Amino acid sequence: MIVMQVIPKEASVDTYRLLRSKVLHEATTWYWSNKARTRLRHINSEGHIDVGGARGVLVARIHPKSPRDVFYLSEKFLGRLIAWFEEHLAAINLQFAPDPPKKRRKRR
């Protein structure tokens, strides 16, 4: 799993709110797949991106459906962040985190 941290130039800028607004009003290939607007999906991919904010920093966890979607989702998301918010961003950090273990279903 890839984790992206998007850090704004100024502390007053909330990158999570900027992303929520852009996807809701202007994006044509991205959409929110839940009512809380924390799960972002691309129209050409089966995976999703869990998005959250902490003190203005955007934290995005990429969850691909298949291994080939890791590159696709990360490339598309990173490209959109740069295209939409370049003047507001100081840094984008990428971390390669291990996938969480899958939960086993309980048998009855």
pLDDT of residue 96: 93
55: left (phi over 0), alpha (psi -120 to 50) or beta: left
pTM to 2 decimal places: 0.86
pLDDT of residue 1: 86
Please write the tens of the pLDDT for every residue from 8-41: 999 999 999 999 999 999 999 999 999 999 999 9
Please give the domain boundaries of the chain with CATH numbers for all domains.
Answer: 2-96 (3.30.310)
- The per-residue b/e assignment along 26-39, b for 16 or more CB within 10 angstroms, e otherwise, is ebeebebeeeeebe
pLDDT of residue 99: 81
Distance from chain centroid for Cα 22: 13
Please write the tens of the pLDDT for every residue from 38-56: 999 999 988 999 999 988 9
pLDDT of residue 21: 94
Count Cα atoms within 13 angstroms, Cβ side, for 60: 29
Please write the tens of the pLDDT for every residue from 56-73: 999 999 999 988 889 999
